[in-house]
Amino acid sequence: PGQLFIVATPIGNLSDLSPRAVETLQQVALIAAEDTRHSKYLLQHYAISTKTISLHEHNEQQRSEMLLQRLLDGDSIALISDAGTPLISDPGYRLVSLVKQQGIQVVPIPGSCALIAAMSASGLASDRFAFEGFLPAKASARRQILETLKDDSHTLIFYESPRRLVDALTDCVAAFGEARQACLARELTKMHETIETRPLVELLDWVKQDDNQQRGECVLLIEGAADSASVDEQEMSRLLALLLPELP
C-alpha cells in the first residue's frame, strides 16, 4: 500500500513550508485538501502540480473510505488543511484513524502550528500546557467550560475568533480572576504579528481600547492556576513563621 503523509502548511508566511513538505507534496499521487481553492495559491507558489481533492468536515467520512482504497491500491496521499497542522482544530482525524486501523503507515511532515508558535513566544510556562481548541460561541457554554478549567494548573491555550475576543476575555476574568498572566498572539508570522502578555484584566482593557486587536486570527493563552501543592506549602511557611516566635 501507499503511505499517508500529514503535511503541515504555513499559518500566514508562505516561506514556512519546509523543503521536505514541498518534496512530499510533489511526489504523492494525490493531495487531499480542506479547501482545494484555498490551497491552490500555496501549491502554485511552489510549482506543485499534483492533483487535489477536497476533504472537509462535511465529506470526511465518505472521502476517507475512497482515499483508503487509493492507499490500498498503492498510491501515496498527502493531507493538508487551510493552514498549519492538519487535525489540530482541522479535519483529518477520521481519515487517520481509519487508515491506521488498516495497517497503513501515516507519516507526519511537521511544520507550522499556531498554538505551538504562540506558546513558544508567550512568556508563559511551557513545561505543561493544555490545548482547549475553540471556546464555544455561546456565552453560557463558554462560561461553563471556563469554570471547569479554573483550577487547572496547566497553561491554557484557546483558539478564538477575534469577533468574540472581548466577550471571551471578559468571561476569563470572571472565571480566573484579574491577575493571571494572559497572552494574545495575533496574526502570527504575518505583517501585523502581535504577541502581548499582561495580567488578564489589563489585556482585556488593552484589547477593548484598540479595535485593531479585534481583527485577524488569534490564539489566547492563560497562565494556569497556582498549583494546590505549592499553595499548601506557602500556607505552611506562613503558619510556621507565625508559630516560631512562640516556641520555647
Q: Which residues bind ligand SAM (CB under 6 A)?
A: 11-12, 81, 83-85, 88-90, 113-115, 159-160, 185-190, 217-219
Nearer to ligand SAM, 2 or 124 (CB): 124
| 99, three cell numbers | 487508515
| 146, three cell numbers | 471556563
Return d(Cα 17, Cα 84) in angstroms, integer: 10
| 114, three cell numbers | 499556531
Nearer to ligand SAM, 7 or 114 (CB): 114
Shortest Å, Cβ 231 to ligand SAM: 32
DSSP 8-state secondary structure symbol assigned to residue 159: E
Shortest Å, Cβ 50 to ligand SAM: 20
Residue nearest to ligand SAM (CB): 84
Q: What's the first-to-final CA gap in the chain, in angstroms?
A: 80
Which residues partner with 6 through β-bridges? 79, 108
Nearer to ligand SAM, 171 or 187 (CB): 187
Shortest Å, Cβ 232 to ligand SAM: 36
Shortest Å, Cβ 181 to ligand SAM: 18
Check if the beta carbon of residue 124 is closer than 8 Å to that of residue 185. Answer: no
Nearer to ligand SAM, 159 or 176 (CB): 159
Nearer to ligand SAM, 2 or 162 (CB): 162
Return d(Cα 95, Cα 87) in angstroms, integer: 10
DSSP letters spanning 177-223? -S-SEEEEEESTTSTT-EEEEEEHHHHHHHHHH-GGGGSS-EEEEEP
Nearer to ligand SAM, 70 or 83 (CB): 83
Shortest Å, Cβ 40 to ligand SAM: 18
Shortest Å, Cβ 216 to ligand SAM: 7
Nearer to ligand SAM, 52 or 85 (CB): 85
Check if the beta carbon of residue 6 is closer than 8 Å to that of residue 79. Answer: yes
Shortest Å, Cβ 81 to ligand SAM: 5
Sheet bearing 194-199, strands edge to edge: 129-134, 155-160, 218-222, 181-186, 194-199
Return d(Cα 144, Cα 136) in angstroms, integer: 10
Return d(Cα 103, Cα 72) in angstroms, integer: 10
